[in-house]
Structure 1
Amino acid sequence: MRKKTSTVQEIRLRYAADPKRATAPKITSSQDSYVVFKEHFDPDYINIREEFQVLYLNAANQVLGVYRGFSGGITASVVDVRLIMAVALKGLCSGMVIAHNHPSGNLTPSSADKQITQSIKKAGELFNIKLLDHLILTPSESYYSFADEGIL
């Protein structure tokens, strides 16, 4: 009998349906994405530290879930593209919208913002998962959409 020397851990996803919501929201615009993200960004921290989140969508652009994967400091958040794609593949999503906040209130995307957007877009293309938009949110109830500005 051969003894097991290693174990592969299972990645688990948890879907928690909102009992107040009859159907999943459908994303048809940056405004739709913004409304969903605003529900998930903690208002007590949006002006203190950066956080990066992902909306995973089915083929009809309905929200499958939100991944609140990364938070950082005042001016940056480390984002791991592999984790984003692992959740996307496990959740069988067809599209994604990403978002992060700028506590400073500045809506201008940094070169790092543009770079991570392109990295996630390219990773998604390998699996036929479309990156639909990247939003930058601010504490002042405003946002910047990469798609609306023609960057994505």
Structure 2
Amino acid sequence: MQDHQVSEIQVSYSPNIIETIISTSESSYMLALNNWNLDTIEMCEEAKVLFLNNALKVIGIYNLSKGGISSSVVDIRLILSIALKSISTHIILIHNHPSTSLAPSKADMDITSKLKLACGFLEIKLLDHLIINKESYYSFADEGLL
């Protein structure tokens, strides 16, 4: 019998920052802005995910994708695999609109619904989905869409 080894897939984070608790959509927005390249926020769409524990303390932020002028990829399987690996119980999806419009598109609404449904199967709560620009944000939770 041969000894077969497989590679371990790792998700890591460096807990070298002050613990942050997310209590409002505004606190999510401010944290996102502090982790966004403001020089490119109006050039290309990016998607990031905040992963939180049960006390709503931030475990980490993941740069999910960087797209083009009008879209970026939101891979639900990847989001959930990281949430499980990091023992996250809550997540917040955040993306920007390079056009600076904060109005959610049909695609934004659809991915939010799909992500919320998928999270529910794993007992992970989608707390919010923010659409951001340099000046402001749109919160699906604040608008009652979650």
TM range (shorter): over 0.9
What is the identity, as a one-letter code, of the residue corresponding to 2:16?
A: D
The answer to whether residue 35 in structure 2 is matched with residue 37 in structure 1 is: no
- Tell me the residue number matched to 1:150: 144
2:111 corresponds, among 93, 116, 129, to 116
**Cα distance in 2 for residues equivalent to 1:12 and 1:44:** 30
Return the offset for 1:83.
0.4
- Tell me the residue number matched to 1:10: 8
Q: Which runs of 4+ in 1 moved over 4 A?
A: none
Count of aligned pairs between the two proteins: 146
- Partner-residue secondary structure (3-state), 1:46: coil
1:57 corresponds, among 35, 41, 52, to 52
**TM-score normalised by length of structure 1:** 0.91
Return the offset for 1:107.
0.7
Give ranges in structure 2 of 5+ residues lacking alignment: none
**Cα distance in 1 for residues equivalent to 2:145 and 2:29:** 17
Return the offset for 1:46.
0.4
- % same residue: 46
What is the 5 A alignment of 1:119-134?
A: 119-134=114-129
- Tell me the residue number matched to 1:87: 82
1:66 corresponds, among 58, 61, 64, to 61
Give ranges in structure 1 of 5+ residues lacking alignment: none
Return the offset for 1:138.
1.2
